[in-house]
């Protein structure tokens, strides 16, 4: 008994800790399956010792307490969690419990199956069809007011279709689609910023931004799956009927829903979903099975934590073991030294993984993974592979902990870890890996768009000493290049032309190209149009930069500090001398365009041959249109380049016109959609 009491205490502390990491910090330490196992163990012990159950036990509540930075919202109808079934036997056992509870006289039960979306539960409150409040789940009774943030989500209508009742609360999941997540990380990488670990935590972190303008830059989506409070709504008798009604009101409801009379068909369905989970553009972690008949749901009611009429069938986590061959360190363009694992290739989460980031020195130490270990690998978010932990039973006796190298693998210079920071850096600004990274970024499409400056060329120019910084691009020794093998007259001439064209790029592109910390394309454009000319920005103080709409103290301090570093001031001087444009697009007298797309919402997906996606979006915005990251019923048209998978499918589902590049160019020129 004492042993059980002690273990119960221990489990409660552990679960509280992991709840905090998951729900509040958005940084879970253990896989969901491990957490579920802790909770299952606690539940089993409490079932054996009912006298030890306390109201504060994690088994008696839905999630973590709400965070205090947002105003509190009391849920009029509690937001409950779901009980889980971890295998088919548990799923069948639940259906049997339901049938037993309903008794022999009950009508036959139909089972409604939906996907279990892996995001963050929110409740949207509409009054007279207008969105008035959005709240997170919090502890199930009180959540956080995230209205301003949710309003930035394209999928969430501000207004419902005609016929909405005086009050309707819609519960659903805010999530980040896999394409959106990959695009966000690609942009982070390009800006030399840290990448995000998985879509779920990124969605949660994005939604809980204090500044809704930041949320607006994240391409979040929403699926509706349940009702909260409803006043004077139409009579509904089934769950699937309710979902169809939500759909008709203009809310996004996922199409992967089905109704089965036979439990065997439910079991077959979950297997089908499991096999097809990688065909979706969003993460799911299971299938939710609900009793479809709402009268039967009422009869079944709730336990303290969850409804008796629903269960979450959890898909097995995608984890595999493999051999960690070595731990190496890569050097990013900002000098960041990132440890990563070289792995014996293993198929996990829908693709083969041969390398996985280990993030930083602390992560390697905390996980204590060592070269030679057998390790558990998970494809977190099915996007970024992650090494979870070593399999200690298989560790060889002579294994030693890995230590972070003291010298940069690229230049041999010292690696330093600034006090209080998790990251380690190569301190040598002239490290060829850093120089290459900076020039590659400068030459990239969203920046100076230098044709002919691909990775290999840049590598060659840097290793031959022809380029030591980005200003060198405008002072290339073409005679030397012309003497090299593989550089004919035409290719040298093309290089010269590309460099000349880059000289005229507007200030926003230049600022982005310089890799100033915290300055991505959007911030660069905001800075350029606010100050008009580089000279105005150079003399601005932190307050003046911070006063610009959309910029905060972190960005202002970073930009101000960067411009004041002697090395950077010198670089700007040389760019100026080289005749590089220092004016913003508007001031430089860029082509005036007619606002032919005013009121239109045009989404761009896939790769276009004539413009980068950012350029395409900019062209839309310049003509008065909007270019959100996802397709919804409000989308005017979808421009589909090569490889535009899920958005294309969604547009086709919603009957949104799909344009090829030629039709897009016509739209930009005339504002007209093809007949
Ligand atoms: S229904 C009263 N349906 O899973 C029942 N929940 O682990 C309310 N979730 O809190 C939940 N997809 O955040 C429901 N199709 C779905 C869902 C779903 C994801 C989440 C939701 C819930 C959690 C429980």
**pLDDT band for position 296 (cuts 50, 70, 90):** very high
State percent of the chain over pLDDT 70: 94
What's the confidence (pLDDT) of residue 64? 52
**Atom 14, ligand 1: residue with shortest CA distance:** 225
For residue 376 the two structure tokens come to 């558990």
Q: Is the CB of 436 under 6 A from ligand 1?
A: no
- CATH for 507-589? 1.10.150.20
Q: β-strands 351-357, 415-416: how paired? A: unpaired
Q: Is the CB of 290 under 6 A from ligand 1?
A: no
- Of 32, 36, 82, the one to substitute when testing ligand 1's pocket (max ligand atoms within 8 A of C-beta) is 82
What's the confidence (pLDDT) of residue 547? 87
Q: Is the CB of 22 under 6 A from ligand 1?
A: no
Q: Which candidate, 629, 576, 621, places its Cα nearest to that of 597?
A: 621
In tens, the pLDDT along 232-251 reads: 999 999 999 999 999 999 99
What's the confidence (pLDDT) of residue 593? 66
What's the confidence (pLDDT) of residue 381? 46
**Atom 15, ligand 1: residue with shortest CA distance:** 116
Evaluate if residue 347 carries a pLDDT over 70: no
Q: How far apart are CA 136 and CA 133, in angstroms?
A: 10
CATH tag for 317-427 (out of 3.30.1490.20, 2.40.50.140, 2.60.40.1730, 2.60.40.3500): 2.40.50.140
CA of 93 to the centre of ligand 1 (A): 20
Q: Is the CB of 82 under 6 A from ligand 1?
A: yes
For residue 311 the two structure tokens come to 């269960």
In tens, the pLDDT along 515-544 reads: 998 888 778 988 998 898 999 999 999 999
Number of residues that make up the chain = 675
| Most confident segment among 112-116, 390-394, 646-650 | 112-116
Return the DSSP state at 24: I
Evaluate if residue 393 carries a pLDDT over 90: no
What's the confidence (pLDDT) of residue 590? 47
* Radius of gyration for the alpha carbons in the chain, expressed in angstroms and rounded: 28
Report which ligand 1 atom has the smallest distance to the Cα of 312: 7
Q: How far apart are CA 565 and CA 84, in angstroms?
A: 56
Architecture field, domain 1-61: Orthogonal Bundle (1.10)
- CATH for 72-314? 3.30.470.30
Q: Calculate the average pLDDT of the chain.
A: 89
| Burial of residue 241 (number of CB atoms within 10 Å: 0-12, 13-18, 19+) | middle
Residue numbers annotated as active site:
116
Fold classified for 602-670: Rossmann fold (3.40.50)
Q: Is the CB of 288 under 6 A from ligand 1?
A: yes
What's the confidence (pLDDT) of residue 615? 72
Asked whether the domain spanning 602-670 has the same topology as the one spanning 507-589, the reply is no
Evaluate if residue 568 carries a pLDDT over 90: yes
- In the chain, domain spans: 1-61, 72-314, 317-427, 429-502, 507-589, 602-670
Evaluate if residue 588 carries a pLDDT over 70: no
CA of 224 to the centre of ligand 1 (A): 10
Fold classified for 429-502: DNA polymerase; domain 1 (1.10.150)
Q: Which candidate, 225, 232, 234, 227, places its Cα nearest to that of 256?
A: 225
What's the confidence (pLDDT) of residue 67? 41
């Amino acid at each position: 008994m004492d042993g059980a009491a002690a273990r119960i205490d221990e489990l409660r502390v552990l679960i509280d800790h992991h709840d905090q990491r998951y729900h509040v910090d958005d940084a879970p330490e253990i896989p969901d399956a491990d957490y579920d196992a802790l909770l299952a163990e606690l539940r089993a012990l409490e079932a054996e010792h009912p006298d030890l159950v306390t109201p504060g036990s994690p088994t008696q509540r839905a999630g973590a307490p709400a965070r205090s930075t947002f105003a509190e919202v009391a849920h009029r109808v509690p937001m409950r969690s779901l009980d889980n079934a971890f295998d088919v036997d548990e799923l069948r056992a639940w259906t049997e419990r339901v049938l037993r509870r309903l008794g022999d006289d009950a009508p036959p039960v139909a089972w409604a199956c939906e996907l279990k979306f892996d995001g963050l539960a929110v409740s949207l409150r509409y009054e007279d069809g207008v969105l008035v409040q959005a709240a997170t789940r919090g502890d199930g009774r009180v959540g956080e007011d995230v209205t301003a943030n949710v309003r930035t989500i394209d999928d969430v209508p501000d207004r419902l279709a005609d016929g909405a009742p005086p009050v309707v609360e819609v519960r659903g999941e805010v999530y980040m689609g896999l394409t959106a997540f990959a695009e966000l990380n690609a942009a982070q990488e390009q800006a030399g910023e840290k990448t995000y670990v998985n879509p779920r935590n990124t969605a949660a972190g994005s939604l809980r931004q204090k500044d809704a303008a930041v949320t607006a830059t994240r391409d979040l989506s929403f699926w509706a799956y349940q009702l909260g409070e409803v006043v004077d709504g139409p009579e509904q008798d089934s769950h699937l009927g309710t979902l169809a009604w939500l759909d008709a009101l203009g809310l996004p409801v996922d199409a992967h829903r089905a109704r089965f009379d036979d439990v065997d068909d439910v079991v077959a369905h979950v297997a089908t979903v499991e096999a097809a989970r990688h065909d979706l553009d969003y993460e799911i972690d299971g299938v939710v099975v609900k009793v479809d008949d709402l009268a039967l749901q009422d009869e079944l009611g709730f336990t303290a934590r969850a409804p008796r009429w629903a269960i979450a069938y959890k898909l097995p986590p995608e984890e595999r073991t493999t051999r960690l061959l070595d731990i190496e360190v890569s050097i990013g363009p900002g000098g960041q030294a990132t440890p990563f694992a070289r792995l014996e290739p293993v198929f996990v989460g829908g693709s083969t993984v041969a390398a996985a980031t280990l993030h930083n020195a602390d992560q390697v130490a905390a996980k204590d993974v060592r070269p030679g270990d057998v390790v558990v690998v998970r494809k977190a978010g099915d996007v970024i592979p992650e090494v979870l932990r070593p399999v200690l039973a298989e560790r060889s006796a002579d294994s030693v902990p890995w230590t972070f190298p003291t010298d940069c693998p690229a230049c041999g210079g010292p690696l330093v870890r600034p006090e209080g920071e998790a990251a380690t850096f190569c301190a040598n600004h002239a490290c060829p890996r850093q120089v290459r990274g900076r020039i590659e970024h400068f030459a990239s499409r969203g920046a100076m768009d230098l044709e002919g400056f691909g990775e290999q060329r840049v590598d060659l120019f840097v290793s031959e000493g022809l380029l030591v910084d980005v200003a060198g691009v405008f002072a290339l020794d073409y005679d030397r290049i012309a003497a090299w093998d593989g550089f004919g007259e035409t290719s040298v001439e093309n290089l010269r032309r590309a460099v000349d064209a880059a000289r005229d790029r507007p200030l926003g592109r230049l600022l982005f190209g310089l890799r100033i910390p915290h300055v991505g394309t959007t911030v660069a454009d905001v800075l350029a149009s606010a100050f008009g000319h580089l000279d105005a920005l150079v003399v601005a103080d932190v307050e003046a930069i911070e006063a610009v709409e959309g910029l905060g103290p972190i960005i202002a301090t970073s930009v101000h500090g960067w411009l004041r570093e002697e090395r950077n001031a010198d670089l700007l001087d040389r760019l100026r001398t080289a005749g590089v444009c220092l004016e913003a697009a508007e001031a430089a007298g860029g082509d005036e365009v007619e606002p032919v797309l005013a009121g239109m919402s045009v989404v761009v997906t896939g790769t276009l041959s004539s413009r980068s996606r950012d350029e395409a979006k900019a062209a839309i915005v310049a003509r008065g249109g909007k270019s959100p990251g996802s397709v919804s019923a409000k989308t005017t048209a979808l421009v589909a380049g090569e490889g535009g998978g899920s958005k294309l499918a969604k547009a086709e589902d919603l009957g949104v016109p799909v344009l090829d590049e030629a039709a897009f160019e016509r739209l930009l020129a005339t504002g007209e959609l093809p007949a």
